[in-house]
Chains A and B, each alone.
Chain A
Amino acid sequence: MLKKWGNLSLSLVITAGLMAGCSSGGNDTADKASTPQQVSNLNETGLPIVKEKIALDFFTGKWNGNSSNYDDVLVWKKYQEMSNIDVNFNLVPFESLTEKRNLALAGGDYPDVFYSARVGSSELTRYGPQGIFIPLNDLIDKYAPNFKKLMEENPDIRKGLTMPDGNIYSLPSVYDPNFLSMLIGTPLWVNEDWLKQLKMEEPKTIDQFYTYLKAVKETDLNGNGKKDEIPYGGTGITSIIDQIKGAWGLGTKGLGHKFVDVVPDTNQLRFTKTLPEFKEMLQFMNKLYSEGLIDKEIFTIESGALNAKGQADLLGSTIVPNPDTIMGKDNFIGLGALEGPHGDKLYSHVKVPMVHVGAFAITDKNEHTEATIRWMDHFYGQEGATFFFMGEEGTTYNKNANGDLEYIDKITNNPDGLTMDQALTKYFTWTGGSYPGFVKEEYFKGSETLPNSMEAAQKAEPNAVEDIWYNFNFTNEETEFMSSVGKDIQDYIGEMEAKFVNGSASFDQWEEYVSTIEKMGLEEYMKVYQAAYERYNAS
């Protein structure tokens, strides 16, 4: 019986992309010329967007906690009236999103728009030229002034959106590049109470951090009579490596590119995972692990359990979005960049501002492309974005004395006992992420805007990665290479990293590690990267 189900799930997973013979038929993607009727119905600027009501179908990814009926949600109810466009949100829970999206695309059974559906760059590269997604370049130019302005202010957005064939097939989910706290997402938090108890200063160098960890291990700081303090706890070693690698000067182009970055001052690409600096960093991690300064369960622990440890006052330091909101501990402070043994002080944990390339894509089945792009463009402008995140002044938020926007009490301190998230979902759908839009500090009130996160960002700012690389887009052939040889190389590195850190691989094996990677096809890998890099710069 076990085998039967195993076999079933195996074949289901493996054939989870199996395509069908019937397709929607090849479509001519060249200029979807608007019919005169369309153009006349359209209002080129302002609201409503169309004179006579039209209806659109959206394939929509939905977060578990969001409302099951978007028509009841304030933002959409209002926007329908404002825009005169009736949007039918076909909600697909994130848990089944990938399968359903594959089925829709492959079976030719998709609606007008993919909204908040996490369409990946490789899917855009593949289906765009095939005509399923339409190029948006001209539409943006003519009918999306807000987004066009954003692209002009942040040229990297255009670079990250442009597919290898030169077209843009989607609108993204972007954080304001100046909103550093969002880009950091998960700072390295240190227990301030314990620092004080140990009479230590906030660590500014790697060595100071080490000293702190050591002291935590040896002192009963939570006062329960047991030496059960965990100096550093996290879910996996990736997050802490991404944080401290800057102390060795690694990760000069941000978190979008963990294997390749540039040598400072030149523009040469280098493979980070075989550098001597990387080895040194791993040796430091290994030292931490073997001295018991890292939670022994770090390789297997799940977030829920980690949060429980935090709540039980066991953690000396950790990397999470915000210990205050998820562990109920407001005594943590975020560290700035740590200085390494060679004087490097780079805050490397900075994400790509463009978090989802394909947050919004228009398909060839859409008969109202201009109206559609105008519909979306509204949310990239100041007014629209504020509306999307904060709602209506007076109804869902108020301006306080400083001019800052704050949610009304009914949301932040709900009288019926709802948590803030539960209260928010009656009015908004931004909770859970993946939506197309532009996130700015002035209207985004997630936990990243809490004072402790903002402070951490301020500390990080002077040393934060400059000139972040957005995502590169690979051609179909390159994608195939990256999914086969590339993936194998990355798998190998992931395994060896873990082994070097926990000691099951000794550093004597370093040379062997490097040469294995070279044998696996490092040269080809770098060539692919170089090609994508050059295209990126050129767009």
Chain B
Amino acid sequence: MAGEKITMKKERFKQRQKNNLQLWTKNWELYLLFLPVMAYFIIFHYIPMYGVQIAFKDFIANKGILGSPWVGFEHFERFFDSFYFWRIISNTLGIGIYELIVGFPIPIVLALMIHELRTGKFRRFVQTVTYMPHFLSTIVMVGIIMMFLSPTSGLVNVVITLFGGEPISFMTEPGWFKSIYVWSGVWQTMGWSSIIYIAALAGIDPQLHEAARVDGASRLRRMWHINIPGIAPTIIVLLILNIGSILGVGFEKVFLMQNNLNMESSDVISTNVYRSGILGAQYSYSAAVGLFNSIVNFIILILVNRIARKVSSSSLW
């Protein structure tokens, strides 16, 4: 009995090996195609990766990374012990989640709407216009935001006072910071982010729509039952990638928008570490914080990918 089982296993194993071999050889072109990409990642990403160690060392230039003394988790401890640790984590996460909840769906909705337009001047106009603000440099964009929100001359406050209200000093009130940051980001990038969805929608077979229309389905139902499922894989992949960078709140825009009065809401990991580095030569510390960030993001990514795999048919791997 046992002997039979073993031979059966052996046979299946051999069969699988033969299959694998077949797959390897049949698809040799694919491997060849992938080779240069592999080479790129190995050369430009994996070879320099020894630099990650710096987070665990007290770097001394002459001795190089390998020769510098090992300090283990000292830098991480310093980070966790810092007075503002919880604040910056909470701000970074807060902004990340806010951006996700607001900023993720809007481009999708925008794409769905644009897709419904027939091609023509209006459609081209909308697409081009919404795409433009993406190109404004951060410095210019923040300058515009501050101008609009100025407590004395800003357009927003002018309108508020017109309606009899008191001017609000948006940039100096912590409560407003995250909303301004997120919504201005949506304003600037929704058109750009919708492009990928518009392209995905263009890949949906129009015959599906024909069939549905014949069956009497309204536009709304068709959007819900055909368009959205049609681009669901794209949505899911982007969602996973976005969640997986949730701690990655950029440096420049926050830095330009923060000041001492809104700091309790605007200080994020990147800006806080930047200030540590001003005195100079705090390389290992910044590397440690960066590594912490990466690890957290990566773990989140793996978790989300696992969920996606269980719940839907698309995932990263």
The interface of chain A, by Cβ under 8 A from chain B, is 1-7, 9-11, 13-27, 102, 105-106, 108, 120-123, 126-127, 130-132, 296-297, 299-300, 302, 476, 479-480, 482-485, 487-488, 491-492, 494-495, 497-499, 502, 504, 520
**B119 at interface by CB-CB < 8 Å:** no
B270 A130 Cβ-Cβ under 8 A? no
Would you list 22 pairs from A and B whose C-beta atoms are within 8 A, ordered by A residue? A14-B270, A14-B290, A17-B287, A18-B287, A19-B54, A21-B50, A22-B64, A23-B63, A27-B62, A106-B61, A120-B279, A122-B280, A297-B150, A300-B172, A300-B259, A479-B279, A483-B279, A484-B78, A484-B285, A488-B83, A498-B260, A504-B261
> In the complex, which residues 233-249 of chain B have their Cβ closer than 8 Å to any Cβ of chain A?
241-242, 245, 248-249
B84 A491 Cβ-Cβ under 8 A? yes
**B169 at interface by CB-CB < 8 Å:** yes
CA distance A13 to B99 in the complex (A): 21
CB neighbours of A102 from chain B (8 A): 283
CA distance A5 to B192 in the complex (A): 13
> In the complex, which residues 272-295 of chain B have their Cβ closer than 8 Å to any Cβ of chain A?
273-283, 285-287, 289-290, 293-294
- What is the size category of the interface that chain B forms with chain A? 35 or more
B61 touches which of A105, A476, A492, A502 (Cβ 8 Å): A105
Interchain nearest-CB distance for B271 vs A (Å): 9
CA distance A10 to B51 in the complex (A): 17
A21 B66 Cβ-Cβ under 8 A? yes
**B60 at interface by CB-CB < 8 Å:** yes
Given contacts A7-B297, A487-B278, 13 further A-B contacts (CB under 8 A): A6-B250, A10-B250, A11-B248, A14-B293, A19-B65, A106-B283, A296-B151, A299-B261, A484-B78, A487-B275, A498-B261, A499-B260, A502-B172
Q: Do A23 and B281 contact each other (CB < 8 Å), given the known contacts A14-B290, A18-B54, A300-B171?
A: no
Interchain nearest-CB distance for B44 vs A (Å): 14
CB neighbours of A520 from chain B (8 A): 83
Q: Do A1 and B193 contact each other (CB < 8 Å), given the known contacts A6-B245, A108-B61?
A: yes
Interchain nearest-CB distance for B84 vs A (Å): 6
CA distance A16 to B261 in the complex (A): 28
CA distance A479 to B66 in the complex (A): 23
B65 A480 Cβ-Cβ under 8 A? no
CB neighbours of B146 from chain A (8 A): 300
B281 A122 Cβ-Cβ under 8 A? yes
- For residue B290, which residue of chain A has the nearest CB? A14
- For residue A498, which residue of chain B has the nearest CB? B260
A299 touches which of B59, B260, B267, B280 (Cβ 8 Å): B260
- For residue A304, which residue of chain B has the nearest CB? B143
- For residue B150, which residue of chain A has the nearest CB? A297
A132 B51 Cβ-Cβ under 8 A? no
Interchain nearest-CB distance for B223 vs A (Å): 24
CB neighbours of B65 from chain A (8 A): 19-21
Interchain nearest-CB distance for B224 vs A (Å): 26
A130 B250 Cβ-Cβ under 8 A? no
Greatest chain B CB density within 10 A among A7, A130, A499 is at A7
- For residue A11, which residue of chain B has the nearest CB? B290
- For residue A238, which residue of chain B has the nearest CB? B260
A17 B286 Cβ-Cβ under 8 A? yes
B251 A9 Cβ-Cβ under 8 A? yes
The interface of chain B, by Cβ under 8 A from chain A, is 50-51, 54, 59-66, 78, 82-84, 99, 103, 143, 146, 150-152, 169, 171-172, 185, 189, 192-193, 241-242, 245, 248-252, 259-261, 263-264, 267, 269-270, 273-283, 285-287, 289-290, 293-294, 297
Q: Do A494 and B260 contact each other (CB < 8 Å), given the known contacts A1-B192, A17-B277?
A: yes
Interchain nearest-CB distance for B171 vs A (Å): 5
Interchain nearest-CB distance for B164 vs A (Å): 19
CB neighbours of B63 from chain A (8 A): 23, 26
Main secondary structure on A side of the interface with B = helix
CB neighbours of A10 from chain B (8 A): 248-251, 269-270, 290, 293
B62 A132 Cβ-Cβ under 8 A? yes
A14 B286 Cβ-Cβ under 8 A? yes
Interchain nearest-CB distance for A497 vs B (Å): 7
CB neighbours of A15 from chain B (8 A): 51, 286-287, 290
CB neighbours of A492 from chain B (8 A): 83
CA distance A455 to B191 in the complex (A): 57
- For residue A2, which residue of chain B has the nearest CB? B189
Interchain nearest-CB distance for B105 vs A (Å): 14
Interchain nearest-CB distance for A379 vs B (Å): 26
A16 B286 Cβ-Cβ under 8 A? yes
CA distance A161 to B177 in the complex (A): 42
Interchain nearest-CB distance for B11 vs A (Å): 48
B252 A3 Cβ-Cβ under 8 A? no
Interchain nearest-CB distance for B88 vs A (Å): 11
CA distance A485 to B78 in the complex (A): 9
Interchain nearest-CB distance for A320 vs B (Å): 19
A127 B260 Cβ-Cβ under 8 A? no
CA distance A380 to B300 in the complex (A): 59
B62 A25 Cβ-Cβ under 8 A? yes
A4 B277 Cβ-Cβ under 8 A? no
B276 A9 Cβ-Cβ under 8 A? no
Interchain nearest-CB distance for B284 vs A (Å): 8
CB neighbours of A121 from chain B (8 A): 280
CA distance A127 to B61 in the complex (A): 8
CA distance A503 to B270 in the complex (A): 28
Interchain nearest-CB distance for A18 vs B (Å): 5
CA distance A108 to B60 in the complex (A): 12
Q: Do A2 and B103 contact each other (CB < 8 Å), given the known contacts A14-B293, A499-B261?
A: yes
Interchain nearest-CB distance for B289 vs A (Å): 6
Greatest chain B CB density within 10 A among A1, A9, A10, A502 is at A10
CA distance A412 to B217 in the complex (A): 79
CA distance A397 to B282 in the complex (A): 46
B248 A3 Cβ-Cβ under 8 A? yes
CA distance A299 to B146 in the complex (A): 11
Q: Do A9 and B279 contact each other (CB < 8 Å), given the known contacts A23-B62, A495-B261?
A: no
Interchain nearest-CB distance for A433 vs B (Å): 18
A130 touches which of B62, B66, B276, B286 (Cβ 8 Å): B62
CA distance A402 to B249 in the complex (A): 61
CA distance A482 to B279 in the complex (A): 8
CB neighbours of A302 from chain B (8 A): 143
Greatest chain B CB density within 10 A among A18, A24, A123, A485 is at A18
CB neighbours of B249 from chain A (8 A): 6, 10
A4 B261 Cβ-Cβ under 8 A? no
CB neighbours of A495 from chain B (8 A): 260-261, 263-264
B54 A7 Cβ-Cβ under 8 A? no
Greatest chain A CB density within 10 A among B64, B65, B189, B251 is at B64
A491 B263 Cβ-Cβ under 8 A? yes
CA distance A204 to B59 in the complex (A): 53
CB neighbours of B143 from chain A (8 A): 302
A13 B245 Cβ-Cβ under 8 A? no
Interchain nearest-CB distance for A3 vs B (Å): 4
Interchain nearest-CB distance for B50 vs A (Å): 6
